[in-house]
Structure 1
Amino acid sequence: MASIISRNVNKLRFLNSRLAQCRSPMPSPPIPDRTLPLLQPALPLGIGIQSFAMYQRCLFSTSTATVNPENQGDANSGEGEKSGESNKSSDGGRAVRGGPISWLSFLLLVATGAGVLFYYDREKKQHIEEINNASKAVKQGPSAGKAAIGGPFNLINHDGKKVTDRDFLGKWTLIYFGFTHCPDICPDELQKLATAVDKIKEKAGIEIVPVFISVDPERDTVEQVREYVKEFHPKLIGLTGTSDEVRSVARAYRVYYMKTAEEDSDYLVDHSIVMYLMSPNMQFVKFFGKNNDVDALADGIVKEIKQYKKQ
């Protein structure tokens, strides 16, 4: 009898220890239902029934509240997959933060570029309009738009007399620079000049003094120039001088000239092909190039003289 009581006491102690474990925060693995039949025969009827019922409820509550680590890992992996899917779905709708370009930054860039182009175009139009207004506001005067061409000179005419720029004051003068050994260009231009002078005299009644200035002082002596100018027009005045004097007048009228291929004493002189119209006070009015024929030259000179007289 005593041995039976001691066994029952040991069993109750075991049950109490299990109940204590149920009350502790540490989870315990669930006990399958098949263990209950094994425990029930070991307990006498009417002894510890309430304790066993409490123990059974504790086991059931613990088993439902405790999460299996493997199941928890699966759950976490499932949640990770769901969160990954949600991230993928959200990534499809908007740019990933930290990417190189987003739609918002692209739109801002386009808007900024359009604004810059609009501002530049407006400023350009405004600047052009200001220039046009300023040019219209400027009053044309005798010296407006005139190039710094012309100036004093000292040369010798084809009669061997000293001539300066002051000898031509009070007359309209048309000056051409060339040389007497010129094979074709100078004769053509001087013939055009002489014909235009006669046409101006005939149509407009304006007398123009034609002048030829040599840029080859080494060969164009007074006698050479005299024989040359009388072939084109009786009123054509030929001028020559020393190398320094010719260089000075060419510089004043912005005339280019230079010797080219030289073979013994025969050479050519490359020079500007321009006619200069000078006013009665020996001020530059306009130049006429090689592209003007006789009619264009005559009409251009008459037009410039009429406009000059209106000022």
Structure 2
Amino acid sequence: MSLSKFVFSSLRNCSRASLPNFRRFDPSRRHCSSSTKPTSRTNSPLPLPEQTVSPTSRTPFVFVTVLAGIGGLVFFIHNNDEKRAVPKGKGEKFERSAISGPIIGGPFSLINTEHQLVTEQNLLGNWVLLYFGYTSSPDVGPAEVQKMAKSIDILESEQNLKVLPIFVTIDPRRDTPSQLRAYIREFDSRIVGLTGPVASIRQMAQEYRVFFRKVDDEGDDYLVESSHSMYLVNQSMIVVRSFGVEYSPDELVKAIADEMKRTPK
């Protein structure tokens, strides 16, 4: 039974139960008495009796008021029930869309090591292995770039799968295009280095959920804490996988190959 029907039924029963009490009510009667009879008549008007409303005369008004209140309450509850009601088959679809997860990625505008403008539109149609790091990283950064270089080499030479590696610096203040070019050549010339204004780097990092911040800042000598994020992006520039530092080169190759083979060309 719906909430509106339950309230209406309960209030209707209460109204019926109270009706006998109205009928049994004995109104009080006004008694006027006088110990003497008037000896003379005058032309002055007789005093009007006090106007009183007996309980019996109030009964219809109270009953109508209660019924009106009950009707309004039932209509309000029923109307809200209809608004809250979810059509059959609609709720499941909404829940699936609500838990699909946050969107990672978005538009960006940076420059490569040749000072050429690169946006997400230039990468459409390519599988991309995207890494966010910086050239001054003392240990984790070089290990991740080396892993990325080895992975794309295995994918291309052994499985005939082509992936475009991209290194995005999170330290544009020191990682100029020339600095990036010199750094990348130590690993693999196929890696594309991207840098740009600080605001552009921060915007892209925010869109790709990349954490970084400067620590031990003493002028130009500082370190950068980072999440060392690496993403596999499909040909429509949609992030399909993310990889942490715990992945070995072989594990990274297998995960990338499985994803690429699973996606229809």
* TM-score exceeds 0.5: yes
Q: Does 1:185 align with 2:165?
A: no
Post-superposition Cα deviations, 1:63-86, rounded to whole Å, max 9, x if no partner, equal xxxxxxxxxxxxxxxxxxxxxxxx
Identical pairs, percent: 39
C-alpha displacement of 1:147:
4.2
Separation in 1, partners of 2:105, 2:237: 8
CA contact (8 A) 1:172 1:277 kept: yes
Separation in 2, partners of 1:184, 1:264: 21
The one-letter amino acid paired with 1:298 is: V
Gaps in structure 2 of 5+ consecutive residues: 1-91
Q: Does 1:289 align with 2:253?
A: no
Identify which of 264, 273, 295 aligns with 2:219: 264
| Structure 1 residue aligned with 2:198 | 243
SS in structure 1 at match of 2:247: coil
CA contact (8 A) 1:273 1:290 kept: yes
Q: Does 1:308 align with 2:263?
A: yes
Separation in 2, partners of 1:273, 1:282: 20
C-alpha displacement of 1:146:
6.1
C-alpha spacing 1:218/1:232, structure 2 compared with 1 (3 Å) = same
C-alpha displacement of 1:178:
0.6
SS in structure 2 at match of 1:212: strand
CA contact (8 A) 1:157 1:238 kept: yes
| Structure 1 residue aligned with 2:165 | 210
| Structure 1 residue aligned with 2:3 | none
Structure-1-length-normalised TM-score: 0.53
Number of positions where the alignment pairs a residue of Structure 1 with one of Structure 2: 171
The one-letter amino acid paired with 1:206 is: L
Q: How does 1:134-153 map to 2 (within 5 A)?
A: 145=100, 147-153=102-108
Alignment RMSD: 2.0
| Structure 2 residue aligned with 1:225 | 180
Q: Runs in 1 of length 4+ with deviation above 4 angstroms?
A: 144-147
| Structure 1 residue aligned with 2:110 | 155
Separation in 1, partners of 2:147, 2:101: 25
More contact order relative to length (CA 8 Å, sep ≥ 6): 2
Gaps in structure 1 of 5+ consecutive residues: 1-133, 139-143
| Structure 2 residue aligned with 1:280 | 235
Separation in 1, partners of 2:189, 2:132: 18
Q: How does 1:10-89 map to 2 (within 5 A)?
A: none
C-alpha displacement of 1:264:
3.2
Separation in 1, partners of 2:175, 2:192: 14
SS in structure 2 at match of 1:309: coil
C-alpha spacing 1:235/1:204, structure 2 compared with 1 (3 Å) = same
The one-letter amino acid paired with 1:305 is: M
SS in structure 1 at match of 2:263: helix
Separation in 2, partners of 1:301, 1:192: 13
C-alpha displacement of 1:145:
4.5
Q: Does 1:200 align with 2:166?
A: no
Separation in 2, partners of 1:146, 1:308: 20
The one-letter amino acid paired with 1:225 is: L
Post-superposition Cα deviations, 1:121-147, rounded to whole Å, max 9, x if no partner, equal xxxxxxxxxxxxx89xx8xxxxx9464
SS in structure 2 at match of 1:291: coil
| Structure 2 residue aligned with 1:254 | 209
Separation in 2, partners of 1:277, 1:158: 22
Separation in 2, partners of 1:309, 1:273: 29
Post-superposition Cα deviations, 1:141-171, rounded to whole Å, max 9, x if no partner, equal xxx9464111100001011111101111100
The one-letter amino acid paired with 2:126 is: K
CA contact (8 A) 1:147 1:284 kept: no
